[in-house]
Structure 1
Amino acid sequence: MNQTRRQFVATASAIAGTVTLLPYGVRAAGHGGDVFEASGGNITVHPVSHASFVMETPAGTIYADPVGDAAAYSSFPAPDLILITHEHGDHYKADTLSAIIAENTSIITNPAVFAMLPDTLKARASQIANGGSSEFNGVSIEAIPAYNTTKERLNFHPKGRDNGYVLGFEGLRVYISGDTEDIPEMRALTGIDLAFVCMNLPFTMDVEQAASAVAEFKPKYVYPYHYRGRDGGTQDPEAFAKLVGDGVEVKLAGWYA
């Protein structure tokens, strides 16, 4: 990691809708994105597309499920950490990973993806299974199960294979659902500040399931993401926001712009 990224001390002030974050936050502000306050240094989220997003954090720049054209990531700092939830093509693409990794990039995957990584990527990677944990630059990483429960969907995401993740920053806990239905392990989450929750059919869950789960584990903020289905149709994120109600702030983003 270069010297600039090792400078993790941040200060924040929000005046008339503007945010100043130093030092890494100056970079983040230059890319736009949503800023979430945390005692250890604020975190800026950049939705990219579908299930892919970038987080600029005091611990480094984290990419979640980066796929597609590497050019989509060219305006962001190179990843310090890449998280991969599972093997489907809208979450894992070896060619994209090979194009965006930097000298000091680390990769964390579920065991199934780890087994299929090319040797050059596997050398940068570690695996954690459901219920396992890891750590990156002081950030705790928990592998949360992600699976289908509806009979006709069970073949998409079988229990025990795929990961969601909970990231524990100082003063902010982030949940990334990956591809899942509203499983008990999601509903049992506590202390989540920011969540990314999928909803698309036939692969994961519908808007009612997603909203019901979110209303139970009650993150402070939630991004509905991964809401476009096989036929191009979507679960409606605005309908999701209405169903969730006032207890959780729903962040709507242009995932398919």
Structure 2
Amino acid sequence: MKFTLFLAAALAAFSVQAQAQTAAAPRAAADQIATKKGPLTLQPITHGSVVLTWGGKTIYVDPYGGAEAYAGLAAPDVILITDIHGDHLDPKTLAGLSVGKALMVVPKAVAEKLPAEYKAQVRVLGNGQKLDTLGLRVAAIPMYNLPEAADAPHPKGRGNGYVLTLGGKNVYLSGDTEDTAEMRALKNIDVAFVCMNLPYTMDVNQAAQGVLAFQPGIVYPYHYRGQNGLSDVASFKKQVTAANKKIDVRLRNWYPAGK
């Protein structure tokens, strides 16, 4: 009897420990910025995925990397997907998350590839279109490669970057892009997440010049893993800071162990 109780206790302890390990998925610490309607929390996940929490709402951007990466976070109210590639549209990760009540804001190309079970949750936005929902605004920004070409990894019109407006703050999510005219023309961006990975998007120098053109208050280099490993985000920070000390460049670890 004592052995049975001991075994049961040991199994229970192992189960709790396993759950704790799952919940403690390695990820960079979250940041908070103040808005007119409460704090906005910015939680890096991995690569091009970030979770935003504001006003009691949770927004997942390009959920990718396995559901365990989101352990301990609230289920999404809104999911933004930028493009059809597997590091943005990741059905396996979506299947492991509680997304049943989430509004999915996506470009048409993504809507056509989403599993049928999500179709009722989808709202399609094309480049230049806007959506007001749940107290926030979502604007779809063109994202594409330069020079423009039909066979480019990211042709113009297929994918979306996004600008979210919440609590008076504007947050830009570049998706996969180069330093396009539309990026350079952005105004009043408080927080920007900007990609830099060759050969798919832009290099560090392009990213720095693009950011210096639209001058966000805070910028996070993200999506910086390419064919030759991780981009030199320290060089990006050095270039931006040398030219404009008012831009707060925040380096975070978007590639925890095993990702």
TM-score range, shorter chain: 0.7 to 0.9
Deviation at 1:32, TM superposition (A): 4.4
Alignment pair present for 1:131 and 2:128: yes
Q: Which residue number in structure 1 is paired with residue 249 of structure 2? A: 250
- State the distance in 2 between where 1:152 and 1:184 align: 16
- State the distance in 2 between where 1:103 and 1:89 align: 21
Deviation at 1:101, TM superposition (A): 3.1
Greater CA deviation, 210-219 or 93-102? 93-102
- State the distance in 2 between where 1:98 and 1:162 align: 22
Count of matched residue positions in the alignment of Structure 1 and Structure 2: 226
1:64 to 55, 61, 64: 61
Q: Which residue number in structure 1 is paired with residue 182 of structure 2? A: 185
Find the structure with the greater CA-based Rg: 2
Deviation at 1:213, TM superposition (A): 0.7
Deviation at 1:102, TM superposition (A): 3.5
Partner of 2:109, secondary structure, is helix
Pair 128,45 (structure 1): closer, same or farther in 2 beyond 3 Å: same
Q: Which residue number in structure 2 is paired with residue 228 of structure 1? A: 225
Alignment pair present for 1:218 and 2:215: yes
Output the aligned Cα RMSD. Answer: 1.6
Q: Which residue number in structure 2 is paired with residue 45 of structure 1? A: 42
TM-score normalised by length of structure 1 = 0.84
In the alignment, is the contact (CA less than 8 A) between 1:59 and 1:138 conserved in 2?
Answer: no
Partner of 1:100, secondary structure, is coil
- State the distance in 2 between where 1:140 and 1:93 align: 24
The 5-angstrom pairing of residues 106-117 of structure 1 reads 106-117=103-114
- State the distance in 2 between where 1:215 and 1:52 align: 23
Q: Deviations over 1:106-138 (max 9, x none)?
A: 111111000111111111111101011112211
- State the distance in 2 between where 1:42 and 1:187 align: 27
TM-score normalised by length of structure 2 = 0.84
2:75 to 62, 74, 78: 78
Partner of 2:75, secondary structure, is coil
1:238 to 231, 234, 238: 234
- State the distance in 1 between where 2:163 and 2:56 align: 15
Name the structure, 1 or 2, with higher relative contact order (CA <8 Å, separation 6+): 2
- State the distance in 1 between where 2:67 and 2:189 align: 30
Q: Which residue number in structure 1 is paired with residue 33 of structure 2? A: 36
- State the distance in 1 between where 2:114 and 2:66 align: 19
- State the distance in 2 between where 1:216 and 1:151 align: 20
- State the distance in 1 between where 2:190 and 2:150 align: 29
Note the residue ranges of structure 1 that are not aligned, 5 or more in a row. 1-30
In the alignment, is the contact (CA less than 8 A) between 1:35 and 1:44 conserved in 2?
Answer: yes
Note the residue ranges of structure 2 that are not aligned, 5 or more in a row. 1-27
- State the distance in 1 between where 2:151 and 2:246 align: 31
In the alignment, is the contact (CA less than 8 A) between 2:79 and 2:104 conserved in 1?
Answer: yes
Deviation at 1:239, TM superposition (A): 0.6
